[in-house]
Copies of this chain bind each other. A is one copy, B any other.
Amino acid sequence: MASNASKEVIDDLDKRIIQFLSHNGRMSFAEMATHLDVTEKTVRTRYNNMVENKIIEVVGVVNPITLGIKVAAIIQFRVIPEFLDDVIEELKNNPVIRYVTTTSGDYQLLAQMNMRDYEELNDTIKIIHQIPNITSTNVLIQLDVHKNSFEFI
């Protein structure tokens, strides 16, 4: 079969659907359809295909500030190269760590995390420092988040 499962092509209609959803993920297919001047079924099929192909995902996003999760930090890690994957695995399993990426530069790894207060930050850093094969870390406290967008198009 020529065409395979993941068709990464996205046309203008798909983009406009995404635009609606990025503002309100629960907008009804029917409402989008009237705005876009197509049938509800068309929007629904497009949506299902995009979800199927992992192009989009509609999810509830929590605002940590309103929830009293007021401390955010970024940590960079130097790691013994052969154990990089193990360290990544450990970090992924820590629930306060939200984001983990490998990077170029002085440190191979960068993680972002959100916590209630500075006490929890301290605890977390202590726990992290128990992870084997980390040779050094660099902690940046986040003072304020000015932009946090989920749109890429």
Contacts and interface: CB of A to CB of B under 8 A. Distances in A.
Interface string A6-50: 101010000000101111111000000000000000000000000
Contacts of A22: 59-62
Contact of A59 (B61, B69, B97, B111): B61
A81 to B, nearest CB: 13
A95 B68 CA distance: 29
Contacts of A21: 59-60
Give the interface centre of A58, A61, A72, A149 by most chain B CB atoms within 10 Å. A61
A153 B115 CA distance: 10
Contact of A60 (B10, B53, B150): B150
25 contacts: A6-B66, A25-B26, A25-B57, A25-B59, A26-B26, A53-B66, A61-B61, A62-B150, A62-B151, A67-B152, A67-B153, A92-B146, A98-B147, A98-B150, A98-B152, A100-B146, A100-B147, A101-B142, A101-B146, A102-B144, A104-B141, A104-B143, A105-B138, A105-B139, A114-B152
Given A98-B147, A104-B141, A105-B139, 19 more contacts: A20-B60, A21-B60, A25-B26, A25-B60, A54-B66, A55-B62, A55-B63, A55-B66, A56-B61, A56-B63, A61-B61, A67-B153, A69-B152, A92-B147, A98-B152, A99-B149, A100-B145, A101-B146, A103-B143
